[in-house]
Amino acid sequence: MDDWRASAACQNADPDLFFPVGTGAPALIQAEEAKEVCLRCPVREACLRWAMEDSRQVTGVWGGLDEDERRARKRRLRRRTSEVR
């Protein structure tokens, strides 16, 4: 386990909070609640980096971003990389 996890704001939260099921209003509210935990997290960037680069998490809220937001961020990064070449 990575050292950053010991400082994560979510370590005492219910893990299910970070994995909303569905796309309806209850799931959207749950995702926003999870993101609020992330906003006050001192290791948010490390968490996001782990989810996107090291483990390639597909589901859940990691580092304050949900699945769609992480996919969009990856697309933007790929575009920037291809523009530089």
Binding residues for [4Fe-4S] cluster: 10, 38, 41, 47
C-alpha 33: how far from its chain's center? 13
| Residue 72 to residue 76: CA distance in whole angstroms | 6
Residues placed in the known binding site: 10, 38, 41, 47
Paired with 64 in beta bridges are: none
